[in-house]
Structures are given as structure tokens and as C-alpha cells.
Structure 1
Amino acid sequence: MERKLFKNGIVLTMDEKLGDFKKADVLVEGSKIVEVGPSIAAEDCEVIDAEGMIVMPGLVDSHRHAWESVIRNVGADWSLQKYLGSIYYGNIGSKRRPEDDYIGNLLGSLEALESGVTTMLDWSMVISRDHTEEMIRGLKESGIRGVFAHGCPGDGEYWDRGSTLDCIDESKYIKQKYFSSNDQLLTMGLAIRGPEFCSWETAVKEIQTARELNSVCTMHLGFGTWGKVDRSIEKLNKAGLLGKDLNFAHATGVSPEEIKMLAEQGGSVSVTPEIEMMMGHGYPATGLCLENGLMPALGVDVVTSTGGDMFAQMKFTLQAERSRINEQLLAEDVMPGPPLNLHAKEVLKMATMADAEALLLDDKVGSLTPGKEADIIMLRTTDLNMFPVNDPIGAVVQCAHTGNVDSVFVGGKAVKRHGQMLHIDKKRIHTLAVEARNSIFEAYGNPDELWLV
């Protein structure tokens, strides 16, 4: 069995029992972490020099629409209403060919990997079985650890509060054909509309299907003007449907009582702070969750309007929540501090362990715990924006960016080394991505007079 020894790094384990190390080693056998600590004595290993590196678990993104990588940054000035009206209901999202979804998911996954994201949930918008299979092909080819969340088309007859349409039979087929085991790099979830975008009966049926398939069930819920009115989490709780396998994206408008229900009965919230603040979903629910006993997860969401890395999302999360509390204190004529209400370490946990828990993958990823998968990233501390290192957690959350990611390993396999992605044909990927973009906008038209270069 192939063995690797990561030697003499600053090791952030995200495992409270193990702790962190100023200088330590990580021993990997095959795809698994077997030991973490200083001066590990091991022979017959590939030694990976981690001197001058922060060694840590790969970042996890619990909510992303990967196919949109081929139309990235078209929505730099889009509100949520503009986004929904442009992507859904027979618009841009319906103009994709199967081959567009292949390259969209491949490009989106490689973007994530290059930035240190080793695990990602892909919240899909399925048009046909051919599209689904091409999405899966793109994810698999990238080498990312992922949850392919199988969804329905974006057409109006599906995204309507009275809709009884579903894709349950197709979800069962895809699960059986591609995801018969949960012990594989790519697993399956269900991306359902939830009770705010289809009929209650349909939402219940889809939740029950996800449980029958032993899959995480993710939905957009509790945001915008309707979030505080619908009280969907309360309804799910009354129906006895809450559980740790339910993931709610955004939840900016839900009540404190509903968050407490999730903390008690199970369920996760994926905060996507940058998109929520710019598009008008509502203020990120970070503090709402923490104040009511729930550690939120984090996600990128839509690369139509932001970049695909988690460093930015950690910064947005930290500063948005600190600003919320600081403004409350200033309004009361009180200066904030000395201690701030949210620490960098908590945010790093959101981007690792909390995200892993939301995807039901915390037994595999999220920390450098012996027995878990060797999803490991290395950040250079020799870069100008990183040295001298005084607080490595602060360096990761507040200072680091994608350019500092030196190496990325998924299941012990290197996908990036010395700042360069491995085993990819960048020219081919670029050509296919441009062809996909052109095909989509030739069918739809050029929104907002984009340059389309």
C-alpha cells in the first residue's frame, strides 16, 4: 500500500481531541490518514516536505451550482429576482446541451479543487437523463470528492407552489446505476424544491424518497420576503420530518425558534454569505444559527455572481456577523469589544467539519483524524501575504487566498502540487467551456449586452 509522510508542517487538524501543532507530520496509507503528530517514524514512504506550509483538511462546500461555471460572472449585478428570472422558468438554464453540463461540472469542480475545496455538493438542475449522466461524468473526471444532488428541471411547471410534478423515478434510477455504494468518491443526494417551491405533498414525498435512498436531502428554504411568513421548518417539525439528513440553503428569514428545532431534532443550514448579501436573500443566518445552538455550514452558491473559493466565503461570514453585532452595540452607544463575538476558528470549522456534517460525510472528511480519508491541502506560508505567521488559523481565514494553495490531495492522491494542477488539459477545458458558453447564449441571446470574450 502506498504511503505518504507529510513532514514538518504547521498542522491544523480541526480535531479538538488531537489539537493543532506548530510542527508535526501526517502519515497516510493508501487513501487514509493513519497518524498525526510530531516526528513520526515511518519507513518506505514518499516524504512530502511540508516545511513552510500549513497542512490542514481540505475545505468543504455544502452548496454550489457547478454547471454555472460556463456562464460565470454574467450576474455580477444581478438581484435574486433577476437571477431566478434569467436562469429558471425556461430561460438560460433550459438552453444547455448535455455536453455543456459535462464541461460545466468539470470546470466547476476543477476550480474548486485548485482553490483547496476537496469536497463539494453540486446542486443540480436536471434537464434529461443525458444531462444527468454528463454532469456525473464531469464530476468524476475532475477527481473531486462530491455529492451529486439530483434535482429537477428549472421550468415553471416544476417551480410552482402547487406543483405535483417530481423526478423520483429518475432519482431512483440514477442512484441504482451510479451510486449503489456510499463508500465511493462521488455519492448522491437529492436536490429538492422543498415546501416553498412545490406542493407540500410533493415535498414530503421527495424527503421520504431521499431517506429511502439513504441520501442527504437539500433544499432552498426560508429566505426572501416569504421566508419569515411560511415557517417551513416549523411545519416540517410538526410533521415529524426533521432530521440530520435535511439541509437548508440560506434560511435567512426563519425564526429563532425554528433554528432551535433544527438544533434539537436535526438538520443543517448552509450559509452562502456573499450571494445572500448581494442578491437580496436576506442577511446571512450565521448569528441566528449560533445564537440558537446550531453551527452553520458554508457554501459558495452561484458562480454567476461570485468566485468559487471558500476563502472569500470565510471572510464574508466572519465580517458580516461581526458587523451585525458591532452595529447593534454602536446603536446603543457602546463601543464593540474588546472581544469580538465570532472567532476565526469557528468560521474555519464551518468550512470544514460543519460542512462535512451537513453532507453526512463527517466520518470521512472535515478533519485530519486518523481513520478518515486523506483529503489534505497545503498552504504556503512563504508567500508575501502569509509571513511571518503568528496565528495560523487567522492566516487561513483572514489572509489566505487561492494563490497560496500549494498542494491538494483527495483520498491520498495528489491533484495539485507546487501550485500547479495535475493531469488536466487546460487548453481543451478552455475550448470546451467557451463552446458551451457560446452555445447557451446563441440559443438564449446575449443578456445585458455582455462581452462574451
Structure 2
Amino acid sequence: MLPERTDLLVSGTYLISMDPGVGDLPRADVLVRDGRIAGVRPHAPGGPRDSGSAGIPVIDGTGTVTLPGFVDTHWHLWNSLLRGTVGDRPGTDYFTVKRALAPHFEVEDFYWAARLGLAEAVNGGITSVHNFDHNVRDPEDADANIRAHLDSGLRGRFSYGPPDSAPPDATNDLDDLAALRTRWPDSRLDGRLDFGVAVRGPYRTPPQVYEREWETARALGLPITMHCDRCLREEGCRSCGLTRLEELGLLGEDVQIIHAVHAGEQDIQALARTRTRVSLSPMTEMRTMGFPLLTELLDAGVRVSLSLDTLAMPTSADILGHLRAIVSVEAARTGSATVTPRRLLRLATLDGAHDLGLQDVTGSITPGKRADMVILRSTDINLTPSGDPVEALVYTGQIDNIDTVIADGRILKRHGRRTLADGEQDPVTVAIARRDALLRRAAAAGDWHLPPVAADTPAGQGPATIAQERSRP
């Protein structure tokens, strides 16, 4: 059961609206009614009655900064349960662990893995998430992810992909994809979720597969998302092969390309010509692929957004920490002034909304849009004294500064703590238990053999110890 939508007034906050028509207001009142931003105005001395909001709850915004909820445009929520199991020791890399454990997921594992990731999203101020699901084994798996998203209170997209390690000659379940809207009509989606198609593309599947998937997606009017990492392990690779996709007619405004770390100049021009979107996951890319080409893509006019990718690498939903890393890397890598703190905040909010087709719904604090907002304490020690609040957030902001998260008019985090409805199970607690049971099943089947715990790891800590102890005869 979700918290009820709450009419409220955020009073006297420093507003970073991300809307050029609204701008930044050092002292602003933001009125929320029926899940929608009903008004934005300079703070009125005398309080809420002057704002036409007598009798509704007031959040005192003194000493706070308010901005739109962050938008994540590529997140494999199903493998959130792999966090702590993926690591740096031999045999615990992401792909090895994923392939070993993916077949052992039960339907409820998909639900609670997604709920865990989405709970962390709330904690980090992310109010819209694109769930790129590349382990859909049957309709029940898809439904579990959709239920989890709706139960979380967040907005976003579910992109239907193939089972993990599916053979190249197997398509997505296109029949179920076509039936998805019948099973999940708009009346069940609360205006918060839409659907897309996650494909493997020409470098991983033959023409009879990718042509049919593209044709079906476009016939259904569903956006397409695809990883572009074909030369991930090829030394000296300087091309993503995107020019070939352009020649095949596979790029376009309905296509989102993920990563494209090794895109060459011609690849980037192909993206720009076709108005294809790119989602970058800088933290996972820098860990396993190389430097994301953020400056080059922006300078070419490519629409770019940002994403976490997975919690299994491991990463976390500390968007401000990610932005800080990106701005520093780009300064060192290119010396360009393209990537500024304000540009990064836009990438994480309004540009992400554009990527998901939600620019008229979220991404900025604009009257008429849905109320997706993050309120941070600007008086915390790491943010004071402050000059430009945008620079302060990107250069020194932390997830701990987030006081309140509002998604579609529902308060999902308040006073620094996630809110749970009466009787609701905590996704974190349940996900830990589901992860432990997953490891036991995989170990019992002989598919999971963790290497010994490193000598400097204290006894009794971590999933390695859990799996070893519980898989013993």
C-alpha cells in the first residue's frame, strides 16, 4: 500500500527548477495539489495563506534547496540481489556471477530485487527509473518487475528483454510483449509507467532476430534500448559500429544506445544525424569499459542522459557523488568547459526526462508537471558556507543531505528516512533474505562455488561466508 498523495506547500526554499522560464529562486514557495505542481512563486511573507493554500501541510523550506527528482535512464533492477556477491576476487566478476545465478531466480526474487533497487533510488532522490530487464524468462517475471515498480511509488519505464544468456537465434517473447498492454492497461499503471523493448542488436543476434524485434517494437510504438559494447574486450577498439546501424535503419529518435564508450567520430555523427539518444553509466563504464565520451557526445549535439546501470558492480544511488566524479574526469580528460555542474544537473533531471519521453511530465519544477521533487538541507556542514548552490551540490553534496523525496505527490522520504506504509515489508530486509536463499539454491545445484574469503576479510562477513556455510552438506 502506497502512501497517499499529499497536498502540501514547500515554503521558503532555494529553488533550482531546471525550467528556463522559472529559473532559480533564492526564496520560493512550491504548491503541490493532487500530485501536481500547482504553483511556483517567490516566497510570500505571511506564509501559506498568501499562496492560496490555507489549511494544507507546510514543509518549512528554510535552509533547504529543492530541485526536480533525478531521472535514471538505464538500470538492471533484477540483479540488485547480486550486490555483495560481485566483487574483485577471481570468479566474482559481474558476468560470471550473473550467468551463474540468473537461472536460479524465482519470481519473487525479481520482485524484491526491483524493490531493493527502487528503495535505494528513493533514498538517493531518484524519482524516475528505466528498468532495462535482460532476464525476462516468462510473463510472470515481467509482471513481477512491473508490480515492484508500481508498489515503489516511482515513475519510469519497463523495457522487456530476453532471458540472460539467451541463444543468439532466439527473439524476445514478442507475443507477450504485444499482450503486455492488455494485461497492464493504463488504468493499472497510475500514469507512472510505460513500456519499451530491450534488444541485443546486430552484433549479438542474426538478421532474422533483430529485424523482427525492431519491426515488432516499431509496430507497437514501443521505444527500443540496446547496449553498445561490442568491442568491450577488444584492445584498441575505436568504433561501436553505429554507422552500420544507421545504414540498416535501426537508429532514430525511438532508440536509446547504452554506453557507446568506444564510439568513433563517425559513430557519434551517426547518432547526431538520427537523433538517437545515449544513456551513459559513468561509474560502471570507468570500472570495466573506459571513459564515457560525455564531452564529445554533447559537443556533437547528441541527446545524453545518465544512469547507474546496476547495483552489482558495486555502485550506489549517490547521484551527487557520481556527478562529482564525472565533472572531475571530464576536466582532466578533455579540459573542455562543456561539462559544468549545472549541465550535469540538467543531464540528471530534465535531459533524463527527455530521454524517456517524460519531458512534459517531470524533469523540472514547472507548474502543471507532476510533483517529483528532492529537498536537501543546505545548512549541513558539507554545504556551508556556500556560494552557488548548484556548484555546492555537485562539488560537495552527499546523499545524506537529502531530507525529503516526493514522487508523484507522495512523500517517500522524510527527515532523511524512507517512509513505509503501515504493514509494508521493508524491501531491504526481504531482499537480503531472498539473496541468501538464491545463493543456497545455486550452490546446491552445483552452479555456484565461491572462492575462499580473502585472508584480510574478517570471519563471518559478506555473502561469500554466507554461501559457503549454507551450501555445506
| Common fold: TM-score over 0.5 | yes
Q: TM-score, normalised by structure 1?
A: 0.89
Q: 2:57 aligns with which of 46, 58, 62?
A: 46
Contact 2:6 2:411 in 1 (8 A): no
- For the pair 1:393 / 2:390, whether they are aligned, the reply is yes
Paired residue type of 1:30: D
How far does residue 235 in structure 1 lie from its aligned partner after superposition? 2.0
Contact 2:197 2:222 in 1 (8 A): yes
Structure 2 CA distance, aligned partners of 1:67 and 1:423? 22
Q: Secondary structure at the match of 2:131?
A: strand
Q: Secondary structure at the match of 1:209?
A: helix
Q: Aligned in 2, Cα 1:136/1:80: closer, same or farther, shift over 3 Å? A: farther
How far does residue 228 in structure 1 lie from its aligned partner after superposition? 5.0
Identity %, equivalent residues: 29
Contact 2:12 2:28 in 1 (8 A): yes
Structure 2 CA distance, aligned partners of 1:211 and 1:61? 23
Q: Secondary structure at the match of 1:355?
A: helix
Paired residue type of 1:349: R
Contact 2:36 2:369 in 1 (8 A): yes
Contact 1:2 1:30 in 2 (8 A): yes
Structure 2 CA distance, aligned partners of 1:291 and 1:73? 37
1:153 corresponds to: 163
2:285 corresponds to: 276
Contact 2:372 2:408 in 1 (8 A): yes
Equivalent positions of 1:222-301 (< 5 A) are 222=229, 224-225=232-233, 231-279=240-288, 281-301=289-309
Q: Aligned in 2, Cα 1:53/1:446: closer, same or farther, shift over 3 Å? A: farther
Deviations 1:275-324 (A, max 9, x none): 11111x22212122123222421100111111133223212221221121
- For the pair 1:320 / 2:329, whether they are aligned, the reply is yes
- For the pair 1:115 / 2:124, whether they are aligned, the reply is yes
2:379 corresponds to: 382
Q: Aligned in 2, Cα 1:103/1:446: closer, same or farther, shift over 3 Å? A: farther
- For the pair 1:209 / 2:220, whether they are aligned, the reply is no
How far does residue 116 in structure 1 lie from its aligned partner after superposition? 0.2
Paired residue type of 1:53: T
Deviations 1:347-398 (A, max 9, x none): 1111111111111111111111222111011011121111222111112212
Q: Secondary structure at the match of 1:385?
A: helix
Structure 1 CA distance, aligned partners of 2:163 and 2:221? 22
Q: Aligned in 2, Cα 1:81/1:420: closer, same or farther, shift over 3 Å? A: closer
Note the aligned Cα RMSD (angstroms).
2.5
Structure 2 CA distance, aligned partners of 1:140 and 1:447? 35
Contact 1:62 1:359 in 2 (8 A): yes
How far does residue 243 in structure 1 lie from its aligned partner after superposition? 1.9
- For the pair 1:5 / 2:9, whether they are aligned, the reply is yes
Structure 2 CA distance, aligned partners of 1:382 and 1:173? 51
Structure 1 CA distance, aligned partners of 2:185 and 2:400? 34
2:183 corresponds to: 177
Structure 1 CA distance, aligned partners of 2:170 and 2:431? 35
Structure 2: gaps (5+ residues): 45-50, 443-447, 454-461, 467-473
Structure 1 CA distance, aligned partners of 2:384 and 2:268? 40
Structure 2 CA distance, aligned partners of 1:240 and 1:183? 34
Deviations 1:248-291 (A, max 9, x none): 11001112222222223211111111111111x22212122123
Q: Aligned in 2, Cα 1:156/1:240: closer, same or farther, shift over 3 Å? A: closer
1:336 corresponds to: none
Deviations 1:129-165 (A, max 9, x none): 22222222222111111211111101241xx3xx243
- For the pair 1:76 / 2:79, whether they are aligned, the reply is no
- For the pair 1:15 / 2:19, whether they are aligned, the reply is yes
Contact 1:14 1:349 in 2 (8 A): yes
Paired residue type of 1:166: N
Aligned length: 434
Structure 1 CA distance, aligned partners of 2:340 and 2:299? 14
- For the pair 1:60 / 2:71, whether they are aligned, the reply is yes
Structure 2 CA distance, aligned partners of 1:230 and 1:170? 34
Contact 1:245 1:360 in 2 (8 A): no
Structure 1 stretch 313-322 or stretch 117-126: which is displaced more? 313-322
Structure 2 CA distance, aligned partners of 1:325 and 1:448? 40
Paired residue type of 1:29: R
Structure 1 CA distance, aligned partners of 2:392 and 2:424? 30
Q: Secondary structure at the match of 2:374?
A: strand
Contact 1:61 1:310 in 2 (8 A): no
How far does residue 101 in structure 1 lie from its aligned partner after superposition? 0.8
Contact 2:275 2:303 in 1 (8 A): no
1:98 corresponds to: 107
Structure 1 CA distance, aligned partners of 2:25 and 2:242? 41
2:459 corresponds to: none
Contact 2:111 2:147 in 1 (8 A): yes
Paired residue type of 1:255: G
Structure 2 CA distance, aligned partners of 1:428 and 1:57? 26
Paired residue type of 1:110: A
2:471 corresponds to: none
Runs of 4 or more off by more than 6 Å in structure 1? 78-81
Structure 2 CA distance, aligned partners of 1:412 and 1:156? 40
Contact 2:353 2:362 in 1 (8 A): yes
Paired residue type of 1:361: L
Structure 2 CA distance, aligned partners of 1:22 and 1:437? 45
1:331 corresponds to: none
Q: 1:189 aligns with which of 191, 196, 207?
A: 196
Q: 2:399 aligns with which of 393, 397, 402?
A: 402
How far does residue 427 in structure 1 lie from its aligned partner after superposition? 6.5
